[in-house]
Chain A
Amino acid sequence: MTLKKVCVVLLLAILAAACQGDDGGGTQSTGFDEDSVLVVGTTDEPSDLDQFANLPVISTTTGSVTEAITDIDTDGRIYGHLAETVTQDPDDAKRWIVKLRGGITFHDGTPWDADALVANIERLLDPATESILPSELGTLTGAEKIDDMTVALVSSEPDPILDYRMRILNMVTPDTPHEPDSEPIGTGPYIFEEWVRGEHVLIRANPDYWGEPKPTIGQIEIRFIPDADTRMAALAAGEIDLNVAPVLSRLNEVDQILETDFAVSTNILRINPASPPMNDPNFRLALNYAINRDELNESLFGGLHTVNNCQLASSGVFGFNPDLQPYPYDPDKARELLAQVDIPDDFVVQLQTSTAVGYAQASELAQAVVGYWQAVGIDAETQLLELDPYLKLLRPTKEQSSIFYVESDHAFRNAARGMSLYVIGTGSTIPESHPVRALADEALRDRDSDSRSESMQEVLKTVCEEAYIINLLDSKQYGAANDNLEYEVGTNLIWDPAYNRMKLVE
């Protein structure tokens, strides 16, 4: 009997061990359920999946397949991602020294090392690649290998924010061919699987991902649904789990609203002070005091946006000045200032914006703002332009009308971008002789991050006080999801989601 009992116990033990084996989803060994699928609805598909082109739509499809050497924290500070450190060369302001993180390989087994980074930079700068990114990367001219895990990034001029710029450059395996259909092979938590043109991109979890957190969802299907209402319907029907471009006025219909932790853009009105009365600060200030920004936000955007704090940055963006406040709505003050201005008899304030797809709310905003100006006695009108003439006017000319609507982009998460464009760059209307230009130039060249932040805050304060730019509303990015998705957006943009931070729940 004793032997029989022993045999029974042994048999039960063997059976118990066998039952704890493969649970059918590979979950124990990989950490994710291979059969789980997250379906994401996005706007139309990219032209190609080359990581050096066509940024926004690329990020939704393959942002988790490839990675950059730097990333950003919630305070807007840069830290190393594929790099351990990225620091300016103390002896040469035109060089940044990148020490790469070891132990990482691309999905095709190629090691991530100095040769790989140099190859990526060379491919980026090669005219045959036809990339639009070089102009976003300042004056970067090349990369030099120092040792197997160290590279020097070289610019033609000192560029203190090159580490920020490198965030947008996702690394691919050096063997990526120069072909339109080349598949993105990166180091990310997801591996590219297939692209069915006109329908979807499929990526699958990388069981050997080096970073954290590890992916928990086996596959991500990114579906191209160009019509916004159809995307909302697909979400409501459960055909997609996440909509990265929802209809903002219908967010109250969805289970879960996702939003970025900072405002990714600001509507601004760029004033051309070339001729009277725009060259009179009192007139420009009057334009500011005449606008009821809170009412604009409530009536046009259902309160989704926030009033901008009179600067080319939003809270959470490096260089943001916390002491600046928006101009209050004060029509009496506006009239008082206007009484001090010599306005030519036939002068009409023309506010230019576009009627193109994607600018529908811009034209409504412009018409509302013109209404406020008319209410305080300013002769004003809107000029609605087709997209192409509008895009040309992003670079101001002498012939340009008095005020021009733009959206200042903070996706960079650094006020340097807005300053580079609208204070000293191709989009600026601030007079060449104005000291704020020299101040901005100096700030953007400052190698010390703390003193650079202080200088940038000073620049933003001056631009606010001089009122060359009328700042209106800050906009976050919003996404819509069903209840089965758990996702903390963190520092990511909605259309650049971190799929490895997502979980599907019952």
Chain B
Amino acid sequence: MIWFLVRRLTSATLVIFLVTVTVFFVGRVIGDPVEQMVSDFATEEDRDALREQLGLDRPLDEQFFDFIGGVSRLDFGDSLRQSRPASTVVLERLPATFKLMTTSIVLALVVFVPFGIVAATRPGGALDRFLVSVSLLGVSMPQFWVAQIFILVLTVQLGWLPTSGSGSWQHLILPATTLALTSGSRIAQIARTSVLDQLTEPYVTTARAKGFGSSYVLRRHVLRNALVPIVTVAGWEFAQSLASSAVVVETVFAWPGMGRLAIQAIEARDFVVMQAVVFVVAIIVVTVNLMTDLVYKLIDARIRLA
């Protein structure tokens, strides 16, 4: 186990480094932040003066080595727009995103895993077909569209929930549900398939032959064996939502998280903040992957972590 952790931490560090370096170069290629920061009357001298102030006139290799040195101290530099440390800007937004992601994944697991299990125990039946259709819809519908439908129906028409913002648990419901709908639908599909596979295994037949009830077999044997793929997908969905879906959902619902911050930084060409956001997201993603692997071991002691 110790060697496993050492190997994983080493590869995680390499992944985070490569991702951050990639963003460093991509950020400098996608555009010039100075063009968006100056007025129409700014002369070339004004632009050059601003580039010098922001340190953007230095040679790329000098900027790169400064950047690497800074990252090792978790110092990404000051935001080009906000003149505050980029790490402060990002860490301010992290709790909101973390709250949203955690709520959505818990919701997805609590609602959609039973979905998938119920569908698997009645394969081909009306309920199974209905649940499969619902999960297909959930995976297919674009999240920005789902978000707007929720807002129109549940807030504007019915007045049940707020349209946007944060501050109370009511504000969390719609964005978390929007995220949970997509990720939960995929989890439901995997849960259904995984449980179906287990139900056809010989040990299940043996258990039933010995007189154990279906419910008992499901709870004590099948579910545990079916959990590994479910955990895999849940971990992946969490990471994928953090890295992409959260951006859309946080923007539509004006949720003050890192996804919205990433969009603001990209639009403003504030690549310092972009680098910090990507770094934090990369750390979270590799941590989630590591925890997923450790959970495998808890579920099934036979699994060898390599």
Contact = CB atoms under 8 A, between A and B. Distances in A.
17 contacts: A47-B81, A130-B50, A135-B41, A197-B92, A226-B251, A226-B254, A229-B151, A230-B164, A230-B252, A230-B253, A233-B152, A233-B163, A239-B163, A357-B267, A387-B31, A388-B30, A427-B40
Contacts of A135: 38-39, 41-43, 46
Contacts of A394: 40
Q: Which of B38, B40, B167, B268 has the most CB of A within 10 A?
A: B40
Nearest to B256: A198
A237 interface: yes
Contacts of B48: none
B260 interface: yes
B75 interface: no
A130 B84 CA distance: 13
A201 to B, nearest CB: 13
Interface centre among A127, A132, A133, A386 (most CB of B within 10 A): A132
Nearest to B81: A47
A233 B156 contact: yes
B32 A225 contact: no
Contacts of A427: 40
Nearest to A181: B84
Contact of A426 (B41, B83, B96): B41
Interface string A110-140: 0000000000000000010010110110000
B240 interface: no
Given A230-B253, A387-B31, A239 B162 contact: yes
Pairs A-B, 9 closest by C-beta atoms: A198-B256, A388-B31, A47-B81, A391-B35, A180-B83, A135-B41, A234-B163, A225-B254, A135-B42
Contacts of B162: 237, 239
Contacts of B15: none
Interface string A220-232: 0001111101100
Contacts of B193: none
A47 B267 CA distance: 12
A409 B166 contact: no
B232 interface: no
B148 A229 contact: yes
Contacts of B41: 135-136, 420-421, 425-426
Contact of B252 (A136, A227, A236, A425): A227
Interface residues of B, number: 49
Nearest to A223: B165
A54 to B, nearest CB: 8
A44 interface: yes
A392 interface: yes
A432 interface: no
A198 B41 CA distance: 31
Contacts of A132: 37-39, 42
B82 A198 contact: no
A230 B171 CA distance: 14
Interface string A292-317: 00000000000000000000000000
Contacts of A198: 92-93, 96, 166, 256-257, 260-261
Contacts of A237: 155-156, 159, 162-163
Nearest to A225: B254
A236 B96 CA distance: 26
B49 A234 contact: no
B156 A199 contact: no
Q: In this complex, which of A199, A223, A420, A425 has the most chain B Cβ atoms within 10 angstroms of its Cβ?
A: A199
Given A130-B53, A180-B82, A225-B254, A234 B164 contact: yes
Contacts of A180: 82-84
Interface in B196-211: none
A178 B37 CA distance: 19
A420 B156 CA distance: 47
A48 interface: yes
A392 B44 CA distance: 11
Given A136-B39, A229-B151, A237-B162, 12 more contacts: A44-B264, A47-B79, A48-B81, A181-B84, A199-B166, A199-B167, A226-B254, A230-B164, A233-B156, A233-B163, A391-B35, A409-B40
Contacts of A223: 164-165, 254
B36 interface: yes
Given A237-B156, A392-B35, A224 B254 contact: yes
Nearest to B45: A135
Contacts of B151: 229-230, 233
A426 B30 CA distance: 25
Contacts of B36: 387, 391
A491 B235 CA distance: 55
Given A47-B82, A227-B254, A234-B163, A388 B42 contact: no
Nearest to B252: A227
B35 A127 contact: no
Among A48, A198, A229, A386, which residue has the most Cβ atoms of chain B within 10 A?
A: A198
A197 B49 contact: no
A426 B42 CA distance: 9
Interface in A385-439: 386-388, 391-392, 394, 409, 420-421, 425-427
Interface string B120-154: 00000000000000000000000000001001100
